[in-house]
Chains A and B, each alone.
Chain A
Amino acid sequence: MGLFIARRLGVMILTALCLTFVIFSLTNLYPNLEKLAKTQGNVRMTDEQVATWIERNGFGEPVLLRYGQWLGIAPGWTYTDEDGTVRGRCINRDNTSETAPRFCGVLQGDWGHSTVFRDDVSSITATRLALTGKLMFWVMVLMVPSALLIGVLAGMKEGSRLDRSLSTFSIASTATPEYVSGVIFITLLASSAGWKIFKGTATSAADNATFENFFLPVLTIALYGMGYIARMTRASMTEVMTAQYIRTARLKGVSFRNIVLKHALRNALIAPFTVIMLQFPWLLNGVVIVETLFNYKGFGWTLVQAAGNNDIELLLACSVVAVFVVLVTQLISDIGYVFLNPRIRIA
């Protein structure tokens, strides 16, 4: 088990390094830097001015070296202006050119400076992540119990009418992406054309989340993931219900309710655990869409702003978080599966 986790961690770190490097090089392509130069400096810069701006702001060095700087394993760049002032990656309000540390990267805890929000990347990411965490918490509270309930109800008697209706519902919910269900919900429940019981935006939910302004975004994300988890639970439940020990229990005369609740349920919930964990990357997708649609200024909204304005360091921080979420949930699902399933654990 220890070796397994160590190997998985090693692969995970390698993957994270590869992914961040790919993102780093894509955001640092010359046309992207040119756009950044023009938004930071002047829209009508000539090509020469753009080239000097790029050189003066430390974007001129080779990509691999600058990736090292961002990571904190290569010394930060410095540039001496014509008038003798020294500027550099590690030089900011707190540090002058003399006191600045040589290395300042992610490993040193310095995530850089956002060019869009004019603030430290680490503080922006932290506040935005907290807001998205609130959203995700309620999504999980709504999605997981209802998905498991639907799956178990549908799977306990395969082929019954109840199974058919619930399976059709699951298919319909997986066929409705967030931007479609969001539009439908707003039209039906938050517009002058339908009932106006909810709010169509969730901006105010950042400070004060109420049922009125927060339920629709939560429902929209939860609905898309719900169908998939429910279908997996159903598949696992139907498999368990055909097992020998369930038949034995039936022949013993155990009531159907007790068979489902005491014999089948525990074994049927092993597979959905993995699925729920692997759903996180998809939820991330949903979070970006829903936060944009409902104008909720969380992590997904920040990612869109960073990507749209080529805010390199903020975008990198966002992608590190996203990649981290994906890889950690994969790891947890693998370990959890081994842990929950005695057949694999003992073998």
Chain B
Amino acid sequence: MEQLTWTGNLSFLNPIFLGLWTLLGVAVMAQIVTSFFGTEVDVAGDELVVRKTPNAMADKVVVWTFFASLAVSFAYLVGGILMPGIEAKGIIGTICTRLLPVWIALAAVFALSVAFKRRLGLYGKLFDSKIGMIGFAIVMFWVFTAVFGAMDLVVTHDPLSQLSGMKNKVPGTPLPDGGDTYPYYLLGGDNLARDVFSRVVKGSWEVIKVAPFATLFAFMVGITLGLPAAYFGGKLDTFLTFLANLILAFPVILLFYLLVTPEIVLTGIPVYMAAVLFIFPIVFTVILINSRFYVQPGKRNLYLAITLVFGLWLYSGIAWNADPLGIIEFPPNLLVVFVSVVFVNSPTVFRIVRGLALDIKTRDYVAAGQTRGEGAWYIMLWEILPNARGPLIVDFCLRIGYTTILLGTLGFFGLGLSPESPDWGSTINDGRKLLSIYPHAALVPALSLMSLVLGLNLLADGLREESLRD
């Protein structure tokens, strides 16, 4: 078997593709330069006519070349999937074929969301914004890749197995002996002769399963502390703000180096921190339900009982690793990563929530609620919080991206996760020693991480635009 080319039988598209992208780049530059010269207006008869400027022409060229290059990219995708045989598909075509479940899921999500977008609230409005849609597509691509990767649908090899003779091989190298495994390393092998493609796909699961939950926990902590700090003010506010500033003054890297080491895990400090931090979601939910159904004791007791039983069960399993049923277990080194990321993020969330609540507290509907005799927690959680949701949702998206960067930083310094772990940060760290000779092992996870964070930022931008619109 011979080396795979990047585009296989579709290589006739390459010059077109390159040409279009060059043209697009030139057109964008021309657009920026010409935009400095304003539009010119002529008087024709008794009407004002805007003369055709170079800027308007550059605009048109940008739009057309952009759509043309998108169409060519789509041709690579569809052509790659339809082409028979791995050699004919090329590396890109084969990867597209491996990702087939992801494309189907993406198409289904988009079709459904666009069809029902008027009934879906803020989520539906996202599909009115181009930027938001692009961001959402990138994020969902990685979510589906992670989920299907974890179900062993996309990956070609075991991310930990090392095959002799495949060390540092370039993308598209065939395996030396056919065997019963997949015959190629699609994106090459790393310095321990493992498959880069499979590791990146598996690594996306490592990110997707930690980052959103860590962010969610940070939000629960920030909200549970930020609302009373703003609402009650006084000593409580001073104390909590000082504490938040204290944590914020810690250089993040130093904190990671102090917290995420095997020695610290031995002392049990992460477990105590987890015990404190993870109680907040339960407290939050309990207060939420209690304040809502305070006047309906029957319903309240039922909901509270369900929350407490379920919540404490999860709590004992996750924080103390002492699940009485033995179903949930949380590896200690994952716990310390999780805890430190939550710990770093929650003071910022606290500050945002506190700022928003300070503003909303002065509104008339809060005063009306106080006059009606509503409890303090009811006002905080059911009057103030829903009205602060817009900025909080936007920040949530941005913060998932930031958490992803933090997780990558941890991996980059070899902290926390096991050294064999396929997460992107560790993989970049492994690959960087041979970067100037064999860049592919570090480049692939680096680009993946960048695209995921970019997608989240674009999504947040789209959400911000749409939530400001009404």
Using a CB–CB distance below 8 Å, which chain A residues touch chain B? 11, 15, 18-19, 23, 26-27, 29-32, 34-35, 160-162, 165, 171-172, 174-177, 179-180, 183-184, 186-187, 190-194, 200, 256, 281, 284-285, 288-289, 292-293, 300, 303-304, 307-308, 310, 318-319, 322-323, 326-327, 330
- One digit per residue, 1 when the CB lies within 8 angstroms of any chain A CB and 0 when it does not, for chain B 448-468 equals 011001101110010000000
Q: Decide yes or no whether B412 CB sits under 8 A from chain A.
A: yes
Q: Which residues of B contact A162 (CB under 8 A)?
A: 31-32, 35
A175, B253: Cβ atoms closer than 8 Å? no
B436, A190: Cβ atoms closer than 8 Å? yes
- Interface range on chain B: under 10, 10 to 19, 20 to 34, or 35 or more? 35 or more
Q: Decide yes or no whether B43 CB sits under 8 A from chain A.
A: no
- Classify the secondary structure of B's interface with A: helix
| Bound Cα distance A292, B413 (Å) | 9
Q: Which residues of A contact B258 (CB under 8 A)?
A: 23, 26-27, 307
A191, B437: Cβ atoms closer than 8 Å? yes
For residue B344, give the distance in angstroms from its CB to the closest CB of chain A: 11
* Complex: chain B residue closest to A174, CB-CB: B457
Whether A187 contacts B443 in the complex (CB less than 8 A), given A160-B35, A180-B428, comes out as yes
Q: Which residues of B contact A30 (CB under 8 A)?
A: 267
Q: Decide yes or no whether B193 CB sits under 8 A from chain A.
A: no
| Bound Cα distance A334, B224 (Å) | 28
Q: Which residues of A contact B251 (CB under 8 A)?
A: 281, 284-285, 319, 322-323, 326
* Complex: chain B residue closest to A184, CB-CB: B446
For residue B466, give the distance in angstroms from its CB to the closest CB of chain A: 15
Using a CB–CB distance below 8 Å, which chain B residues touch chain A? 28, 31-32, 35, 38, 59, 62, 242, 245-246, 249-254, 257-259, 261, 263-264, 266-267, 269, 401, 405, 408-409, 412-413, 425, 428, 431-432, 435-437, 439, 442-443, 446-447, 449-450, 453-454, 456-458, 461
Whether A175 contacts B454 in the complex (CB less than 8 A), given A160-B35, A200-B436, A319-B254, comes out as yes
For residue A334, give the distance in angstroms from its CB to the closest CB of chain B: 12
| Bound Cα distance A272, B436 (Å) | 37
Which residue among A11, A180, A192 has the maximum number of chain B CB atoms within 10 Å of its CB? Answer: A180
* Complex: chain B residue closest to A199, CB-CB: B436
A318, B254: Cβ atoms closer than 8 Å? yes
| Bound Cα distance A73, B439 (Å) | 53
A183, B254: Cβ atoms closer than 8 Å? no
| Bound Cα distance A112, B437 (Å) | 42
B450, A19: Cβ atoms closer than 8 Å? no
B249, A193: Cβ atoms closer than 8 Å? no
Q: Which residues of B contact A289 (CB under 8 A)?
A: 253, 409, 412
For residue B192, give the distance in angstroms from its CB to the closest CB of chain A: 18
For residue B62, give the distance in angstroms from its CB to the closest CB of chain A: 8
Q: Which residues of A contact B443 (CB under 8 A)?
A: 183-184, 187
For residue B318, give the distance in angstroms from its CB to the closest CB of chain A: 23
For residue B424, give the distance in angstroms from its CB to the closest CB of chain A: 9
Q: Which residues of B contact A26 (CB under 8 A)?
A: 258-259, 264, 269
Instruction: State the total of A-B contacts with C-beta under 8 angstroms.
Output: 143
A327, B249: Cβ atoms closer than 8 Å? yes
The 8 Å CB contact of A165, one of B32, B401, B439, B442, is B32
A192, B31: Cβ atoms closer than 8 Å? no
A285, B252: Cβ atoms closer than 8 Å? yes
Whether A15 contacts B246 in the complex (CB less than 8 A), given A32-B263, A193-B439, comes out as yes
Whether A15 contacts B412 in the complex (CB less than 8 A), given A192-B437, A318-B254, comes out as no
For residue A255, give the distance in angstroms from its CB to the closest CB of chain B: 10
B428, A187: Cβ atoms closer than 8 Å? no
Q: Which residues of A contact B449 (CB under 8 A)?
A: 177, 180
For residue A52, give the distance in angstroms from its CB to the closest CB of chain B: 20
For residue B271, give the distance in angstroms from its CB to the closest CB of chain A: 14
A176, B439: Cβ atoms closer than 8 Å? no
The 8 Å CB contact of B436, one of A192, A281, A304, A318, is A192
| Bound Cα distance A29, B237 (Å) | 32
Q: Which residues of A contact B431 (CB under 8 A)?
A: 183
Q: Which residues of B contact A300 (CB under 8 A)?
A: 253
A186, B428: Cβ atoms closer than 8 Å? no
| Bound Cα distance A194, B438 (Å) | 11
| Bound Cα distance A66, B264 (Å) | 20
* Complex: chain A residue closest to B425, CB-CB: A179
Whether A180 contacts B450 in the complex (CB less than 8 A), given A27-B258, A303-B254, comes out as yes
* Complex: chain B residue closest to A201, CB-CB: B436
The 8 Å CB contact of A326, one of B249, B259, B453, is B249
Q: Which residues of A contact B245 (CB under 8 A)?
A: 15
For residue B132, give the distance in angstroms from its CB to the closest CB of chain A: 12
Q: Which residues of A contact B461 (CB under 8 A)?
A: 171
Q: Which residues of A contact B31 (CB under 8 A)?
A: 161-162, 165
A-B contact pairs, 23 of them (CB 8 A): A15-B246, A23-B258, A29-B267, A30-B267, A32-B263, A35-B263, A160-B35, A161-B59, A165-B28, A171-B458, A175-B401, A177-B405, A179-B446, A183-B431, A186-B435, A190-B436, A191-B439, A281-B251, A289-B412, A308-B257, A310-B263, A322-B251, A323-B251
| Bound Cα distance A223, B249 (Å) | 23
Q: Which residues of B contact A177 (CB under 8 A)?
A: 405, 408-409, 449, 453
Q: Which residues of A contact B249 (CB under 8 A)?
A: 15, 19, 281, 323, 326-327, 330
Q: Which residues of A contact B447 (CB under 8 A)?
A: 180, 184
Q: Which residues of A contact B261 (CB under 8 A)?
A: 32
| Bound Cα distance A217, B261 (Å) | 28
Q: Which residues of A contact B437 (CB under 8 A)?
A: 191-192
For residue A227, give the distance in angstroms from its CB to the closest CB of chain B: 9
B439, A187: Cβ atoms closer than 8 Å? yes
Q: Which residues of A contact B246 (CB under 8 A)?
A: 15, 18-19
Known: A285-B252, A292-B412. 11 other contacts (CB 8 A): A19-B249, A26-B258, A31-B267, A32-B264, A161-B59, A176-B454, A284-B251, A303-B257, A304-B413, A319-B254, A327-B249
Q: Which residues of A contact B428 (CB under 8 A)?
A: 179-180, 183
A191, B35: Cβ atoms closer than 8 Å? no
For residue A251, give the distance in angstroms from its CB to the closest CB of chain B: 17
Q: Which residues of B contact A180 (CB under 8 A)?
A: 408, 428, 446-447, 449-450
Q: Which residues of B contact A29 (CB under 8 A)?
A: 263-264, 267, 269
| Bound Cα distance A194, B435 (Å) | 11
* Complex: chain B residue closest to A183, CB-CB: B446
Q: Which residues of A contact B446 (CB under 8 A)?
A: 179-180, 183-184
* Complex: chain B residue closest to A257, CB-CB: B36
A31, B409: Cβ atoms closer than 8 Å? no
B35, A161: Cβ atoms closer than 8 Å? yes
* Complex: chain B residue closest to A172, CB-CB: B454
For residue B265, give the distance in angstroms from its CB to the closest CB of chain A: 9
A187, B435: Cβ atoms closer than 8 Å? yes
For residue B425, give the distance in angstroms from its CB to the closest CB of chain A: 7
Q: Which residues of B contact A256 (CB under 8 A)?
A: 38
